Amino acid sequence: GIQVEQSPPDLILQEGANSTLRCNFSDSVNNLQWFHQNPWGQLINLFYIPSGTKQNGRLSATTVATERYSLLYISSSQTTDSGVYFCAAAPWESARQLTFGSGTQLTVLP
């Protein structure tokens, strides 16, 4: 099956800093999503982005499908951005069966 690798595994920032999270995947994808898991465990969908670039407020994401990676940008980070960020991907033949990476644990310090 498809392999999904995320980096870095841990990231500590001061409030106001910017960050870039990376997701590499091993096969062509028809579905790629970014999720945020808050400290209480709730999973929130941030982006559905199998290709191209999207922005939502301080967050943006870019997927370069031909090079099999996706980036999540967080600008002007806030303490509420803390949590785990997951990338999940699915190949063309099983587009709704997501494989999750191990996540990036982000801690934003006040």
Partner 1 sequence: NAGVTQTPKFRILKIGQSMTLQCTQDMNHNYMYWYRQDPGMGLKLIYYSVGAGITDKGEVPNGYNVSRSTTEDFPLRLELAAPSQTSVYFCASTTSGGNEQYFGPGTRLTVT
Give the integer Cα–Cα distance in Å for 91 and 30: 5
Contact with partner 1 (CB under 8 A) among 45, 51, 53, 79: 45
Task: Note whether 8 binds partner 1 by CB under 8 A.
Answer: no
Q: Name residues contacting partner 1, limited to 87-106 (CB under 8 A).
A: 88, 95-103
43 binds partner 1 (CB under 8 A): yes
- Which part of the chain contacts partner 1 (CB under 8 A), choosing from 16-24, 33-41, 54-62, 72-80? 33-41
Rank residues 11 and 88 by Cβ distance to partner 1 and give the closer one. Answer: 88
Name, in order, each residue with C-beta under 8 angstroms of 69's C-beta and a sequence gap of 6 or more: 22, 23, 24, 25, 63
Q: With the C-alpha atoms ordered 92, 68, 12, 14, is the resulting torsion angle positive or negative?
A: negative
Would you count residue 31 as binding partner 1 (CB under 8 A)?
yes
Alpha-carbon distance of 8 to 106, in angstroms, equals: 9
Coil/strand/helix, residue 68: coil
- Positions touching partner 1 (CB under 8 A) are 1, 4, 31, 33, 35, 41-45, 48, 86, 88, 95-103
